Amino acid sequence: MSSLYRKRGIFYYQGKDEDGNRFQKSLRTRERAEAKEKKEKLDERFATETPSTLAKLVEDYLEHRRRKRDRDELSERTVGSDEYVLPFFLDWTQEKYGTVFSDEIGDISFSAFKEKRLENVSPTTVGKDLRHIQSFFSHLQRKEVLSKDPLKSVEIPQPRRRQVVPNQQEFQALKEWLDERIEKAEKPKRTHLLMKLACHTGMRLGEMAMMKWRRGPEDVGTGHARNYVYLTPEEQTLTIKFKRKLRVIPVGQIWNIFEELKERREPSDTFVFSSPMTDSHLTVSTLCHNWKDEVKKVDALSRPYTSHSIRHGVVTHLLRQGVPVYKVGKIVGHSSEKITERYSHFIPDDLEDAMDLLG
């Protein structure tokens, strides 16, 4: 049974959500007649099926993100940011609007939230917060809870940061350092083989972590969010389905890496980088830790480049060699050519060659 009550002169609607929990909703009026009219409309709307509350949608989404973290598809840091940003946003909406239902999300003033947030934190932080909220709404769109992105008209501040990319000499020096240690070692370190694989494919660390020796029965399709990576030894190719993008890349030229890794494979190992402690693969955090330990030993590098920086290095190296942008994007799995084109400013224009053509 719903009811009306007044708080600081404003009328509120009190009802029950889909779980039977009581909720309050500001009717944004001081006039009793208008409040009664709005109450009747809400009663009519909730009589058949109560829409999900924003709070319930946030709760379900966070549980979904935690499951992805447990499958090593998301980092602890990303989920931790979700767990901070979304409840903060939810508190703000409840303070400003009361209980918000799924069909009222479009009425939220995201510009007002952005301005309120800018009072206390930097534009970079606000941009990060809004991107987390936008990911939440993208999830709701995929679930067909929302028909469009409510943040589409809001300008999201972009981070001001310089991409850290190894120059041509450093990239070559790292490859030579790895080759030297792999050739000299009776049993090369698995991390060195992983680093060499990264230098020759531009794969993400998460992609390498979940790589299987062969295709599994569940590794099919693209119309879902699940990721998979597997080798096809007969064709010497690598199939990667990551971030809803599917690509198949030839790896025959570096097949010796997999032959070396195969030497330490146990019969029960499904994954190329299997964990000796579990039935699954090594986690991204473990691979990242191992990477950091080894890359610090390369004196020719100006800094201990991360695996993501080396991924950038692969892109710029291929672009320097004149490989078309669309091919580079297909190799590394960029979602669009625009992303690949961002790296073009790392490549100095050789204007002298162009001028020589003019005589």
- What does the pLDDT read at residue 49? 66
Tokens of 145: 């809870």
- For the chain, the domain total comes to 3
- Asked whether residue 282 falls in the same domain as residue 320, the answer is yes
Q: Please indicate, yes or no, whether residues 40 and 93 belong to a single structural domain of this protein.
A: no
Over 90: is that where the pLDDT of 122 sits? no
pLDDT digits (tens, 9 = 90+) for 204-244: 999 999 999 999 998 887 766 688 999 999 999 999 998 77
Which of 85-99, 175-189, 310-324 has the highest mean predicted lDDT (pLDDT)? 175-189
- How much is the pLDDT for 223? 66
Residues 38 and 27 in one domain: yes
37 has a pLDDT exceeding 90:
no
- Domain range for 16 is 1-50
- Domain-ending residue, one of 161, 177, 206: 161
Same domain, 45 and 57: no
CB 173 within 8 A of CB 298: yes
318 in any annotated domain: yes
Same domain assignment for residues 174 and 312:
yes
Q: Is residue 358 part of a domain?
A: no
346 & 197 share domain: yes
Residue 325 binned pLDDT confidence (cut-offs 50, 70, 90): confident
Give yes or no: residues 45 and 95 share one domain.
no
Residue 189 sits in the same domain as residue 152: no
Can you tell me the mean pLDDT for 18-36? 80
Whether residues 191 and 214 share a domain: the answer is yes
pLDDT tier, 14 (very low <50, low <70, confident <90, very high otherwise): confident
At 320, which CATH number? Answer: 1.10.443.10
- 227 and 330 in a common domain: yes
Arithmetic mean of pLDDT, 50-76: 87
Same domain membership, residue 247 and residue 281: yes
pLDDT in tens, 343-356: 665 554 544 454 45
> Could you tell me if residue 186 is inside a domain?
yes
Give me the CATH number covering residue 148: 1.10.150.130
Q: What pLDDT was estimated at residue 342?
A: 67
Quick one: pLDDT band at residue 326, thresholds 50, 70, 90?
confident
